[in-house]
Amino acid sequence: MRDKTDYIIIEFSKAVLFFGIIVLSFIALGFYSFLTLEHEGHWLTGMNNQVVWGLPHVFAIFLIIAASGILNIASISSVFNIKIYKPLGRLSALLAICLLTGGLIVLVLDLGRPDRLVVAMTTFNFKSIFAWNIFLYSGFMAVIALYLWMMFEARYNKFVGKVGTFAFIWRITLTTGTGSIFAFLVAKEAYGALAAPLFIALSLLMGTAIFYSILFWMDRGLGVPLGSQIISRFRRLLIYFIFTVFYITILSHLTSLYVTKNHDFEFFLLFSENIYTLLFWVCQIGIGTIIPLIILYNKKLSISPLGILLASLLVIFGGFTMLYIIIVSGQAYPLDLFPGYTETSSFYDGAIAEYTPSIYELMLGLGGVGISAAIYIFAIMILDFTPKNLDDEHTLKLNGEAKTKSE
């Protein structure tokens, strides 16, 4: 069915200028960090022989799974035929490309020798999940490009559903592949088979929260009216996905506790006096789960655009913290190389590794966020990705058309 939504090209404005200055600042910080680390070496980071994946990798994986999740908004329309989301399809696909590009750039710049990437792209070990992920990430770009082409070309709109279904399957596979990086590390007590479904649920939550935050900025900064119908839908999506992530998180820890050899790690993460325990209970559970749910169920805040924005930002913070805990704590906790014995060596075997992110790691991660945002700003100013109107009258009309055709 042909898309009857009116789309606009965003013109330069004070809101775009202000946002652009912040974005360029992030990119400048990331570029400075990259040059410094290339010149001085990675000893400037907090990473070490035990914690080889630090804050930049948290940023990268956050952006990658958010890219998969944010495409869900387009999938709801084209795959599940819920018409109220149809005007958001183009924007959803664009943001998926932006976020994935930013995440991959962070990974490349953190390599130390980015030129060596050509080796990974030409020599494949198909026993490694990383080799499969190279295909998943590059293929995702191609699939979304085709998806967008079907959306933009009116004569090809009839194929949007089929291409959207393929994109839906691809993004679920992509997130599964990213989660499987940790699910396949069976030697680490911190990781398990539930990492893949947890990453899928987390991607949906992060994508929804980021998308709503952008819609709020479009409403207040770009003058694209955002009606209560869209706000209400995003509120419900946030609630569904928060509960899903919370449920899988509980299930993951209960499953881990069932295995005797994992008890020490679970105690280390959940009940010890360390930074990861604090981050888990205060940031992930408290700030990132409970407080957003309180906001989303509050009679006044749940119907306020600003209230939903606050819940979204807290959810994003909680999700980022969750990834930090999963990635870093799993490395910091030592491998049990010889069960029943205590290991000591000059490589700190048997000891909990210390890790404090450096300012250069933070700047590199922010650079990736800035690149994602820069691509988004540039794209909406040269092509008509942005729906002209998202107020209730427009969205109710879409719902009315859908009901009439179904009847």
What confidence tens digit (pLDDT) does each residue in 111-122 have? 777 777 777 777
Whole-angstrom distance, CA of residue 134 vs CA of residue 217: 33
The answer for residues whose C-beta is within 8 angstroms of residue 291's C-beta and 6 or more apart is 311, 314
225 neighbors 342 (Cβ within 8 angstroms): no
- Prediction pTM value: 0.93
Neighbours of 63 (CB within 10 A): 26
The answer for residues whose C-beta is within 8 angstroms of residue 373's C-beta and 6 or more apart is 19, 22, 23, 26, 98, 102
Closest by alpha carbon to 142, among 126, 121, 163, 160? 163
Closest by alpha carbon to 63, among 34, 96, 29? 96
pLDDT of residue 253: 92
215 neighbors 230 (Cβ within 8 angstroms): yes
pLDDT of residue 406: 40
Alpha helix segments (H runs only) across 83-186: 89-109, 117-122, 129-152, 160-183
Neighbours of 201 (CB within 10 A): 23
What confidence tens digit (pLDDT) does each residue in 19-68 have? 999 999 999 999 999 999 988 888 899 998 889 899 999 999 999 999 99
Q: How far from the centroid of its chain's Cα atoms is residue 140's Cα?
A: 15
For 44-76, the DSSP string reads GSS--SS--S-HHHHHHHHHHHHHHHHTHHHHH
The answer for residues whose C-beta is within 8 angstroms of residue 254's C-beta and 6 or more apart is none
Question: Across the strands, what pairs with 403?
Answer: none
Whole-angstrom distance, CA of residue 112 vs CA of residue 24: 23
Whole-angstrom distance, CA of residue 57 vs CA of residue 192: 19
Neighbours of 370 (CB within 10 A): 23
The answer for residues whose C-beta is within 8 angstroms of residue 263's C-beta and 6 or more apart is 257
Token representation of residue 350: 């048997």
104 neighbors 57 (Cβ within 8 angstroms): no
For 326-374, the DSSP string reads IIIIHHHSPP-SSTTS----TT-TTSPPP----HHHHHHHHHHHHHHHH
Which residue numbers in the chain have pLDDT < 70? 1-4, 337-341, 343-350, 398-407
Neighbours of 184 (CB within 10 A): 15
pLDDT of residue 166: 94
Token representation of residue 44: 């400037």
Closest by alpha carbon to 384, among 94, 2, 162, 102? 94
The answer for residues whose C-beta is within 8 angstroms of residue 237's C-beta and 6 or more apart is 208
pLDDT of residue 399: 62
pLDDT of residue 363: 97
pLDDT of residue 191: 84
Whole-angstrom distance, CA of residue 285 vs CA of residue 399: 36
Helix, strand, or coil here: 184?
coil
Whole-angstrom distance, CA of residue 400 vs CA of residue 165: 24
Q: Which amino acid is at 274?
A: N
Q: Which domains does the chain have, with CATH numbers?
A: 11-383 (1.20.1630.10)
